[in-house]
């Protein structure tokens, strides 16, 4: 079975656009779990333009499913994760000014750094995952860091699939097969959506978890808008 972890960054982005506390990210996390999500993902960035470090603390007592915190392991991020001890930390090599995640780790070049960081998290009992491009050498490199899992960076697949190129799944399938054979757990994320998730799942052996935010929140707006417009119309009769 593949677990669905809902990334709630976009809820914080919407909240921050107005100040105040609407929508409330803690309530949203409670609700997605009540509706069946098997995890909650956040990805605090250094500028805290969406989810804030304080949100990570506020969410800790309410996330009773898997709590996954993603980010670049800069000292401030490491201190927070080591203190909060979520279920999983996903390491992502974000540039400070990146609009969103745009590459996986070079697990070979960064091996010593990753080994050190991963050991610190594992000492606290936190499961580790490394965000990687679908490249067999990077999967082997990930294995050498001691990480528990990898997260396949799915933007390229999602883009190509939307253009009708189903062959774009092939490197992902091969990487998942290699990861399985090496004893690495396989997660995936970035631009997964209602359009592509079933095809992706069917072609990825041993897919343990997907984290989905941007499309899931956009789809929730589209699928909810008719209902809400009619609720307003009823109140205006």
Ligand X SMILES: CC(=O)[C@@H](O)[C@H](O)COP(=O)(O)O
Q: Which residues are catalytic?
A: 43, 70, 190
d(Cα 41, Cα 84) in Å, to the nearest integer?
14
d(Cα 176, Cα 130) in Å, to the nearest integer?
13
Interface with ligand X, residue 9, by CB under 6 A:
yes
Interface residue with ligand LD2JLWAY, options 30, 60, 122, 214 (CB under 6 A): 214
d(Cα 237, Cα 229) in Å, to the nearest integer?
13
212 binds, options ligand X, ligand LD2JLWAY, none, Cβ within 5 to 8 A by partner type: ligand LD2JLWAY
User: Do the annotations mark residue 191 as ligand-binding?
Assistant: yes
d(Cα 88, Cα 128) in Å, to the nearest integer?
6
User: Do the annotations mark residue 45 as ligand-binding?
Assistant: yes
User: Do the annotations mark residue 213 as ligand-binding?
Assistant: yes
Interface residue with ligand X, options 4, 5, 7, 33 (CB under 6 A): 7
Contact 217, 178 (CB under 8 A): no
Interface with ligand LD2JLWAY, residue 191, by CB under 6 A:
yes
Residue 44 CB, shortest distance to ligand X, in Å, is 9
Query: In sequence order, what are the residues at sequence separation of 6 or more whose Cβ sits closer than 8 angstroms to the Cβ of residue 177?
Result: 205
d(Cα 220, Cα 73) in Å, to the nearest integer?
31
Where do we find the tokens 């605090």?
44
Interface with ligand X, residue 202, by CB under 6 A:
no
Q: In the range 143-162, which residues lie near ligand LD2JLWAY by CB under 6 A?
A: 151
CB atoms within 10 A of CB 165: 11
What are 231's two structure tokens?
A: 């609720």
Interface with ligand X, residue 189, by CB under 6 A:
yes
Instruction: Pick the closest to residue 81 from 44, 50, 116 (CA basis).
Output: 44
Residue 235 CB, shortest distance to ligand X, in Å, is 33
148 binds, options ligand LD2JLWAY, ligand X, none, Cβ within 5 to 8 A by partner type: none
Give me the residues that bind ligand X (CB under 6 A), please: 7, 9, 43, 50, 70, 92, 100-101, 131, 189-190, 213
Q: Can you give the binding site for ligand LD2JLWAY, defined by CB under 6 A?
A: 7, 41, 43, 70, 151, 189-192, 211-215
């Amino acid at each position: 079975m593949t677990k669905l972890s809902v990334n709630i960054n976009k809820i914080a982005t919407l909240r921050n656009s107005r100040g105040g506390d609407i929508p409330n990210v803690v309530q949203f996390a409670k609700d997605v779990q009540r509706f069946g999500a098997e995890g909650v993902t956040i990805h605090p960035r250094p500028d805290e333009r969406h989810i804030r470090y304080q949100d990570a603390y506020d969410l800790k007592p309410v996330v009773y499913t898997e709590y996954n915190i993603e980010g670049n392991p800069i000292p401030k991020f490491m201190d927070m994760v080591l203190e909060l001890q979520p279920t999983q930390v996903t390491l992502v090599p974000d540039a400070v000014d990146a609009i969103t995640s745009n590459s996986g780790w070079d697990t070979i070049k960064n091996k010593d750094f990753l080994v050190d960081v991963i050991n610190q998290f594992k000492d606290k009992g936190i499961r580790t995952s490394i965000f990687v491009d679908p490249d067999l050498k990077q999967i082997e490199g990930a294995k050498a860091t001691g990480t528990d899992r990898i997260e396949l960076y799915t933007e390229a697949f999602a883009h190509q699939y939307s253009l009708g190129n189903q062959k774009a799944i092939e490197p992902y399938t091969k990487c998942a097969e290699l990861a399985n054979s090496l004893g690495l757990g396989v997660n995936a994320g970035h631009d997964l959506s209602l359009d592509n998730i079933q095809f992706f799942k069917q072609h990825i052996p041993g897919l343990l978890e997907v984290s989905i935010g941007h499309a899931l929140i956009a789809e929730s707006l589209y699928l909810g808008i008719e209902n809400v417009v009619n609720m307003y119309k009823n109140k205006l009769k």
